[in-house]
Structure 1
């Protein structure tokens, strides 16, 4: 490691520890010496000079908190002596013209994807089976049992073999101590059978607990979100099971599909149980129609497409104090590269943009979009406050333990995922992206809800940064997991694809890491690399109910 500490921006007044530092240790930075008054753990910060009560704390050149206790030079910045604080924001003129990064290494490049009738291109080819209401979840599970294994999409886990080993030990009279110390078989996975339809990546079952019983707003949003998946470029077609009497009506789903694709041409089978009658008859129809749909889907093959057909969702989960200085700015550079090539990027998680709203409103090309972003952020935060919460309560215990002690610190680092390009559109959940460039999408900070929403809006690939390790994915879009630090990458290699700890260690620049990530993303989009989330079957899917979720 070249440096022990880092000052992120010239105007900051706190310094980040890149490794564990000890009390009374003297560190040098930019010709200045700092004697630490206490231990500073890696990823945490210390004061550059004495702070009085009320002193502003700045990181990333933005206000991220205020001192509520005196803090000595070289002292720790922590949850006891700093409270969340951000500057207000207003509508102003758009920023100066943006300069794209050097694109010479990617101009003219393509990926091999699945071309759809609406002109979009998928990075995968899935068939969806969807309940329009939670009452149909059991029937969806029955279809899963009937289809997945025999079609060759089941993953054979050795955990079952491990259970058999434990049973044998128990029957042999082994003790609890013997069981706990037993050496069981490997935990690797493998495809159980050869795929019947080799051009279809899988059949995905989108179980949920919505469609009825909640607010009408929730059921409308659910229909829009499901329509986003049905019209998604990674989807070849869908089977939908409806009960008939629920809030989320078939007509509403069809209207939402038409909003997103006015000339919808994919195979779509909708079965309503109360019209058909017996469960056995409906299931027989569902199986036949789904099988016929898979036969159609199998006719699709990968063909070259320009990188402008990529829509990348940006996500972070299990963030740490390195997220904003390694993985997030790295994919921010990836974002700028893709946008310079005509592609699309989605930045979401509005609770984690708290404190950087002024920068983002300034970057909006349209003043109407800037006003919409301002309205969505303020309304969302007000709703959270109305139930005794607020954006300031967003950091999790894990975030705080690893250096993100205020939401503003977390947000300032999280926003780096969006790079520096202009904001070309602002969307409310669950709208679909229609413009290339950087899009702001209103979602919770919850990583699964947000990833689910980004894919519904059109992301055909997701870049997901994590400093603590988050075992999650998406049913239809490959989720590339990116570690902020090498320790995590080496420790949880079964769920992490890329390491950017190389930035912290001084082995690689942010720009070099960003280019490496884009190269990796192209291979994933072409089906050349299977990411960990796909290999592990991490098909997490949580629609957002428009109550308060941070």
Structure 2
């Protein structure tokens, strides 16, 4: 039998015998379970908290499978697929379903011992919450091995340090999207930037050879594939990582608050540490006036000094002149941006977004807690992490309230959660409607169950600030940011609040990225990592198979984040040109 550390707040597997595992409590920074009857689990199933009355299947379990739980045995009454859960005792109608030690549902039909819980016999339920006494300290992990670690970043005049160096082209209104597209086609290829793949097909080489009279054999043998590294070497501005175009469908129509929110979001992208400067295209008559954007920029950075070129089409001689002027001014901006080079900076300058999407029944067991451990390491090092997706914190509000370092933060979080929930209910779509068909198919059958696992991305550290949508990060430590559960709306918001890198856990796979923040995709299971290796950057599935612990994977993930921050590794979302940008109009979006 191997030894185990009772002080560790992170759940992990430790081998006890060839076929058995022990799992520790992962609820909080304190080990609350008294070790009198250790929870012994088969490699095929696991209990995530000693109070849970369901077990999670780690592999497909056929009907009749013998289950040993605590000091008794029982058999499965039906097949339970991997990632799904089954009852450890008989449940009557109205009985609570507990997972991760939290209320995640209630039985609507009698459920017998060993029966799979499904959307037919269980409905969403979550605990009530209230503000009260907040914690004043937490059990931080040992970070001595990283205290002198640095990353090579782009140091900005406002003291922030970027992990990339981008120039932005931003329309203030959807009417300018076509002009943005024309500018995009004029700049990217000619300056050596790719848009959709990690390679380009160089047809111009064939044209030149054809004009010189090349034979069919010579044309067929021509090397016309250029990789991303080839492209980068041939860039006109090698210190500029990309030119990013933030097309959107807002800026006019709707309510005035939509345009104000959009301007606040765009100001977050312009003042972002990964942004060197921007070209702004305005029609002139739209609701999202440049003056609103300018005020939002000054609010975030009173001494704003990045190059900013603003053009108004209704004041231009013609569309041709307008586009030509925008291209020329962007080119001048790129000259300035190219003068910035990477320099060493302490890890305390990192701002990491914590995101999940396409989650499965393993996400809350492997990928999310591993990311949570990496988050705790960064917080202990003086860095900032940001947990978003408020619909996916439903059911774990009390835990997060208790972790808020001030009563003010606790009240703000509780009020934002209640307001969001009330608006969702008002339009007939409460949080219980959050799980997607893919979530349900892979074991996340209620929103509270999904949330209990999703919240693990936030680790165990204290919550130092609570932000509403578009509010900028200003405090070190773990922040909570109000965004929808929608993957792209949430990542768009995380970057808008200042996250330079976003770690995105997934159990099903999703091709999501962001224009300015590098998005790191983390797989919850080995199968996904192999099946979608073109999209996945980091695999935590080895936690499920027992080859790694949450701590070891969290440490490995931190090392990977540092490499991405330094430009040594390019995540798949960046290579593939996945640059999704969807502003939230503050309507109900789950």
Is TM (by shorter chain) over 0.5? yes
Would the aligned equivalents of 1:158 and 1:187 in 2 still touch at CA under 8 Å? no
Which residue, out of 52, 61, 67, partners 2:107? 67
Structure-2 change in CA distance of 1:464 and 1:158 (3 Å): closer
Say whether residues 1:83 and 2:127 are aligned partners: no
Say whether residues 1:467 and 2:507 are aligned partners: yes
Which residue, out of 509, 512, 517, partners 2:552? 512
Which residue, out of 467, 480, 490, partners 1:440? 480
Which residue of structure 1 aligns with residue 541 of structure 2?
501
Which residue, out of 130, 133, 144, partners 1:104? 144
Say whether residues 1:17 and 2:57 are aligned partners: yes
Would the aligned equivalents of 1:495 and 1:532 in 2 still touch at CA under 8 Å? yes
Which residue of structure 2 aligns with residue 327 of structure 1?
367
Which residue of structure 2 aligns with residue 269 of structure 1?
309
Distance 1:156 1:69 in 2: 50
Which residue of structure 2 aligns with residue 149 of structure 1?
189
Structure-2 change in CA distance of 1:39 and 1:311 (3 Å): same
Which residue of structure 2 aligns with residue 477 of structure 1?
517
Normalised by the size of structure 1, how large is the TM-score? Answer: 0.94
Normalised by the size of structure 2, how large is the TM-score? Answer: 0.87
Question: Displacement, 1:542?
Answer: 0.6
Distance 1:30 1:519 in 2: 38
Question: Displacement, 1:154?
Answer: 2.0
Provide Cα deviations, 1:313-337, integer angstroms capped at 9, x if missing partner. Answer: 0100000000001000000000000
Which residue of structure 1 aligns with residue 376 of structure 2?
336
Would the aligned equivalents of 1:153 and 1:191 in 2 still touch at CA under 8 Å? no
Distance 1:157 1:351 in 2: 33
Which residue, out of 394, 397, 401, partners 1:357? 397
Say whether residues 1:381 and 2:443 are aligned partners: no
Which residue of structure 2 aligns with residue 50 of structure 1?
90
Distance 1:157 1:59 in 2: 41
Question: Displacement, 1:29?
Answer: 3.9
SS at match of 1:77: coil
Which residue of structure 2 aligns with residue 397 of structure 1?
437
Residue ranges of structure 1 left out of the alignment (5+ in a row): 164-184
Say whether residues 1:229 and 2:269 are aligned partners: yes
Provide Cα deviations, 1:342-364, integer angstroms capped at 9, x if missing partner. Answer: 00000000000000001111111
Distance 1:480 1:160 in 2: 23
Alignment of structure 1 residues 78-477 onto 2, 5 Å: 78-154=118-194, 190=228, 193=231, 194-477=234-517
Question: Displacement, 1:8?
Answer: 0.2
Provide Cα deviations, 1:480-521, integer angstroms capped at 9, x if missing partner. Answer: 000000000000000000110000000111010000000000
Q: Please tell me the root mean square deviation across aligned C-alpha atoms, in Å.
A: 1.8
Q: More displaced, 233-242 or 154-163?
A: 154-163
Distance 1:30 1:49 in 2: 12
Would the aligned equivalents of 2:119 and 2:445 in 1 still touch at CA under 8 Å? yes
Structure-2 change in CA distance of 1:442 and 1:155 (3 Å): closer
Would the aligned equivalents of 1:308 and 1:343 in 2 still touch at CA under 8 Å? yes
Which residue of structure 2 aligns with residue 171 of structure 1?
none
Would the aligned equivalents of 2:202 and 2:226 in 1 still touch at CA under 8 Å? no
Distance 2:224 2:442 in 1: 32
Question: Displacement, 1:189?
Answer: 5.6
Which residue of structure 2 aligns with residue 174 of structure 1?
none
Would the aligned equivalents of 2:356 and 2:505 in 1 still touch at CA under 8 Å? yes
Question: Displacement, 1:34?
Answer: 2.8
Which residue of structure 2 aligns with residue 531 of structure 1?
571
Question: Displacement, 1:33?
Answer: 2.0
